[in-house]
């Protein structure tokens, strides 16, 4: 994007998958208690979040980001928890924006703080936001988010982001018997806004969301509902590793996408790594363990360039050892199931 140089190279894992995207969790905290991510009965008043002393500084995050770009990363997405709860996050965005060869900076948010921060985020260099919205009905939305927000609060955030000039996309996690009746209302809202809408299959991320295979909504049924609004045509993938299967309404060109980690796993093309707020690299959303980069980041007496060199080497080694394909073997009874990292800790 701008001034900090990088000698970019390509690294591949055990399945010949390159590294293209880095998702960075900047906090494990969130105001909402969504059932599929941070259910209230687990993340209640007594839950112990990461202490501030363990969370990476913006400067440390930028060092890891520079190392990732050296290895082929073109897109960075900031996540949480809720990333806008991290104070002065626009300063981190500005630092990331200065990295040469980085094509895009995105952010996933519940949207509640966008009216306050959207303009600052855009000015700092943010390209796009993905806003989570799981229903248009307040009662159903409340059931999904733990009773912490109303639909109107999120809609105000989307409007603020659009007015600030950010590219906006809506994400919806569908759960059978809860919000599967909201498909058409959400699609009409996306069409009114003129923004893409992604339907995400309810996933067994972490260990506490009570996931069952019967919770997953059939994508074919969703498509059939959507085609009662207008006909849909398929959209070709924008790049290798794109996780959403995309369509567009022929009358408005509004895009609809489906992320089908359960019914149609896309492990074969997965090119994402994740950095937790406390400096752990995870090579899969469903990982059991991470790789701690803090010992390198905290080396005393080293220049930033030297630290980036060390981080690049370590990150490269981690990626080359990667062999993850959890979604492909999810239902294999012969594979021993391990506890998984919680989504609120590493982002979606």
SS3 state at 150 = coil
- Looking at residue 210, its pLDDT comes to 84
- CA atoms of 174 and 182, how far apart (whole Å): 9
Mean pLDDT to the nearest integer, 279-291: 94
- CA atoms of 195 and 207, how far apart (whole Å): 32
pLDDT above 90 covers a percentage of the chain that reads 82
What's the chain's Rg over C-alpha atoms? 20
Least confident of 37-46, 60-69, 175-184, 334-343: 334-343
**Whether residue 339 has pLDDT greater than 90:** no
Contacts of residue 42, Cβ cutoff 8 Å, sequence gap at least 6: 208
- Looking at residue 58, its pLDDT comes to 98
Beta strand 272-275 with 280-282: parallel, antiparallel or unpaired? antiparallel
> Other CB atoms closer than 10 Å to residue 173's CB: what's the count?
23
When pLDDT is cut at 50, 70 and 90, the band that residue 163 belongs to is very high
Contacts of residue 212, Cβ cutoff 8 Å, sequence gap at least 6: none
- Looking at residue 4, its pLDDT comes to 47
What is the chain's mean pLDDT, rounded? Answer: 93
pTM check: above 0.85? yes
- Looking at residue 89, its pLDDT comes to 98
For residue 4, which of 270, 251, 308 has the smallest C-alpha distance? Answer: 308
- CA atoms of 159 and 111, how far apart (whole Å): 10
**Whether residue 133 has pLDDT greater than 80:** yes
Place of tokens 């409007």: 159
Domains and their CATH numbers in the chain: 21-346 (3.20.20.70)
């Amino acid at each position: 994007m701008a001034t900090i140089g990088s000698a970019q190279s390509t690294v591949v894992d055990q399945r010949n998958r390159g590294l293209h995207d880095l998702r960075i969790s900047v906090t494990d905290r969130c105001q909402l208690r969504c059932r599929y991510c941070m259910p209230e009965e687990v993340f209640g008043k007594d839950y112990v979040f990461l202490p501030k002393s363990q969370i990476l500084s913006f400067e440390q995050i930028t060092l890891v980001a520079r190392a990732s770009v050296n290895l082929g990363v073109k897109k960075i997405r900031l996540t949480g928890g809720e990333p806008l709860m991290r104070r002065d996050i626009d300063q981190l965005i500005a630092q990331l924006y200065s990295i040469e060869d980085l094509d895009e900076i995105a952010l996933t948010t519940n949207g509640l703080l966008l009216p306050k921060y959207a303009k600052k985020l855009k000015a700092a260099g943010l390209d796009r936001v993905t806003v989570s919205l799981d229903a248009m009905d307040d009662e159903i939305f409340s059931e999904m988010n733990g009773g912490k927000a109303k639909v109107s609060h999120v809609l105000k955030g989307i409007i603020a982001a659009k007015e600030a000039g950010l590219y906006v996309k809506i994400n919806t996690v569908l759960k059978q018997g809860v919000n599967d009746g909201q498909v058409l209302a959400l699609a009409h809202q996306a069409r009114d806004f003129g923004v893409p809408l992604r339907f995400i299959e309810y996933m067994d991320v972490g260990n506490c969301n009570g996931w069952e295979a019967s919770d997953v909504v059939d994508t074919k049924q969703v498509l059939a509902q959507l085609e009662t609004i207008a006909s849909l045509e398929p959209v070709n993938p924008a790049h290798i590793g794109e996780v959403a299967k995309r369509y567009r309404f022929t009358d408005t060109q509004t895009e609809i996408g489906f992320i089908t980690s359960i019914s149609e796993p896309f492990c074969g093309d997965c090119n994402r790594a994740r950095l937790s707020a406390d400096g752990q690299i995870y090579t899969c959303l469903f990982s059991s363990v991470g790789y701690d980069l803090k010992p390198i980041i905290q080396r005393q007496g080293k220049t930033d360039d030297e630290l980036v060199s060390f981080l690049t080497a370590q990150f490269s080694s981690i990626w080359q050892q990667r062999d993850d394909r959890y979604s492909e073997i999810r239902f294999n009874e012969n594979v021993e199931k391990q506890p998984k990292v919680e989504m609120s800790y590493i982002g979606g």
